[in-house]
Amino acid sequence: MSHILITGGAGYIGSHTVLELLNLNKNVVVIDDLSNASRESLNRVEGISGKKVTFFEGSVLDKELLSSIFSQFSFSAVIHFAGHKAVGESVKKPLSYYHNNVEGTVILVEAMLEHNVNNLVFSSSATVYGEEAEAPYVETQKLGSPTSPYGQTKLMVEQILADVVKSNNNFKVVNLRYFNPIGADKSGLIGEDPSGIPNNLMPFIAQVAVGKRPQLSIFGNDYDTADGTCERDYIHVTDLANGHIAALDWLVEQNNGICEAFNLGTGTPYSVLKVLKTFEQSTKVKVPYSFEPRRDGDLAAFWANAEKAKKTLNWSAKKNMEEMMVDTWRWQSNNPNGYAN
């Protein structure tokens, strides 16, 4: 019986992907060190799906643990979500980010090669296009230089994986470049549960709406955009999860020596103010806000050209902004303290 190994599967995107895989009756094994997640997310995934997840608490940096997991199961593929993701923290602790995200991937791929597991889907990011890139970002454009150590880790891992494929014709890789995942499973039982003050817009809006924070800070209202606030390509996390399944299905059918990147976004930019207004209209909850100075490193606007995933993977995002808002609110209002409830 073949399994799929999900690293970081207790996290935000990982848990939603595990749920979609279980709904398709796939056998899933998760490894997560719970550095930014709760075991409760997987308990809930089991509750929603009525299926079991095999879970190992530990790090992809732990060679012995990986070797033991790879010896116990026959894996058809690995989806590699595990990594630290806070841009600001990566500027303060670059070595921790290079160690965890880059070395963690090297150790994981070594274990895959040792055990002859040849299909890898990697969580990359739109940040690899760099700050000079012109939107919409398309996979054929030259990659830039991300400004943060976090972004650098994604670019480095993509380069390392390309080199591994060149050196080993059996190995196959898909790099999925995510845009801005938001929303939550429609059950309202799993969702994004950031620790501390959220770095991203959507959990910040949701926490203000639920009364955990007094007001939303909007960083910058003088950008060269229609309403002066930053524009991003927001994608529902369930659409994103299904993008992984489409990528995996495609990858296993390919001949050897594949290293392909796909943008996972909707192709439509939304400004911060537009997201906020849609949230208020869809949920009937007011969110007080104030404008604050721009944050270092924030780009005015970027979004995906999402055509390649549509043509090649037969995948495109289905859920609109209202659904993203309603689903976020269902999760946040039912779980004001996230998984700590």
Which single residue brings its beta carbon nearest to ligand NAD? 11
Q: Under rule CB under 6 A, which residues in 130-189 are in contact with ligand NAD? A: 178, 180-181
Is residue 125 part of the contact set for ligand NAD (CB under 6 A)?
yes
Is residue 59 part of the contact set for ligand NAD (CB under 6 A)?
yes
Is residue 33 part of the contact set for ligand NAD (CB under 6 A)?
yes
H or E segment and range at residue 65: helix 63-72
Compute the CA torsion angle 148, 6, 313, 270 (nearest 10 deg): -40
Sign of CA dihedral 218, 223, 224, 230: negative
Is residue 60 part of the contact set for ligand NAD (CB under 6 A)?
yes
Print the binding letters for residues 78-117 with ligand NAD: x by CB under 6 A, - otherwise: ---xxxxx--------------x---x-------------
Q: How far is the CB of 247 from ligand NAD (least distance, A)?
A: 13
Is residue 35 part of the contact set for ligand NAD (CB under 6 A)?
yes
**Other residues' Cβ atoms within 10 Å of the Cβ of residue 315:** 21
**Other residues' Cβ atoms within 10 Å of the Cβ of residue 320:** 12
Q: Give catalytic residues, as residue numbers.
A: 150
**32, 139, 231, 239: residue in contact with ligand NAD (rule CB under 6 A):** 32
Distance CA 323, CA 15 (A): 19
Token pair for 57: 């608490």
Is residue 216 part of the contact set for ligand NAD (CB under 6 A)?
no
Half-sphere exposure (Cβ direction) of 240: Cα atoms closer than 13 Å: 30
Chain mean position to CA 122: 10
H or E segment and range at residue 151: helix 149-167
Is residue 338 part of the contact set for ligand NAD (CB under 6 A)?
no
Query: Which residues here bind ligand NAD, judged by CB under 6 A?
Result: 7-8, 10-14, 31-37, 59-61, 81-85, 100, 104, 123, 125, 178, 180-181
